[in-house]
Amino acid sequence: MSSPAHALAQPRRTDTTVAYVARVLRVIVGTEFKLKYADSALGYVWSLLKPLALFSVLYVVFGRFFKQEEGFQHYPLYLLIGIVLWTFFNDATATALPSVVSHGSLLRKLAFPRLIVPVSVVLTATLTFAINVLAIAGFVVWNTLVPGLDWLLLLPLLAELFLFTLGVSVALATVYVRFRDVGQLWELAAQLLFWSSAIIYPFGFLPPWAQPIAMANPFVQVMQDAREIIAGSGQQTAADVFGTPWGYLIPIGIALVTLTAAVALFRREERWFAERV
């Protein structure tokens, strides 16, 4: 397998800036995705087995032992949607965090927009997410749910989650170059986010004062909307929690501000990346 540096070389005169950036992204994403499972016996199947394994354990513990599914229609699907979305968010941010440092040699050899590095990591996680969606599709068929036109709303929701995840990933990758302790801090923060985001339990279990705080998180808002669209069961959404459809502007605004601020921070710090990695 050729290295990204060899495959990319320098842009030819016939390359436009957009075409070269697209080629860099394609090569890096393709290489990273192939290398992720290159030495494993099951290969890409692992990307599907990991969330299913986590789902199985959590379903037995919380669905069966703690009886979360009693009186909760489609609880397994509710749980799986949360796990698949969380797996995408967590994998993307955790992998992007050291990405600039781990690609230090590539940054020194090639002239290309440095922002491509964390973007490529998030795109790689998106490919894995696309495979994981097959598990959700299987549960949809198992529950004999019929897709409606409102399922098209999943597309802007996933776009929102992608932009928010990209913003967090870019910010983490930027700060990690200067402060390596961010890796430990984010590992702890991710655990806190997992248990406070109503992935396992119904959103209504959160105390009233905590619900607006949780729903302001774009991940939680997207997850709840996706659950309501796919599984129904009267899931609480941003409109319910904030008392108005305009409440959606809060998590959407946070997602956009996060991405804008992260890119601005990255642009300010990237001039020193080569000497710090």
Residue 14 has pLDDT above 50, yes or no: no
Return the minimum-mean-pLDDT range out of 11-15, 26-30, 47-51, 216-220.
Answer: 11-15
Position 69 in a domain: yes
Per-residue pLDDT, averaged over 186-202, amounts to 94
Residue 138 has pLDDT above 60, yes or no: yes
pLDDT of residue 11: 47
Position 37 in a domain: yes
- Contact of 167 with 255, CB cutoff 8 Å: yes
Domain membership of residue 174 as a residue range: 15-276
At residue 239, the 3 state secondary structure works out as helix
Query: Cα–Cα distance between 162 and 122 in angstroms, integer?
Result: 8
Identify the sign of the CA torsion 235, 236, 238, 244: positive
**What DSSP element (H or E) covers 191?**
helix 182-196
Residue 4 has pLDDT above 70, yes or no: no
pLDDT of residue 265: 95
**What DSSP element (H or E) covers 105?**
helix 104-109
Which amino acid, 79? L
Residue 3 has pLDDT above 70, yes or no: no
Position 7 in a domain: no
pLDDT class for 21, splitting at 50, 70, 90? Answer: confident
Return the minimum-mean-pLDDT range out of 48-57, 102-111, 175-184, 192-201.
Answer: 102-111
Q: What are phi and psi of 254, to 5 degrees?
A: -65, -40
The tally of domains found in the chain comes to 1
Position 30 in a domain: yes
Query: Cα–Cα distance between 23 and 42 in angstroms, integer?
Result: 29
Position 89 in a domain: yes
Q: How many CB atoms lie within 10 A of CB 157?
A: 18
Report, in angstroms and rounded to the nearest whole number, the Rg of the chain calculated over CA atoms: 20
Position 238 in a domain: yes
Query: Cα–Cα distance between 106 and 150 in angstroms, integer?
Result: 44
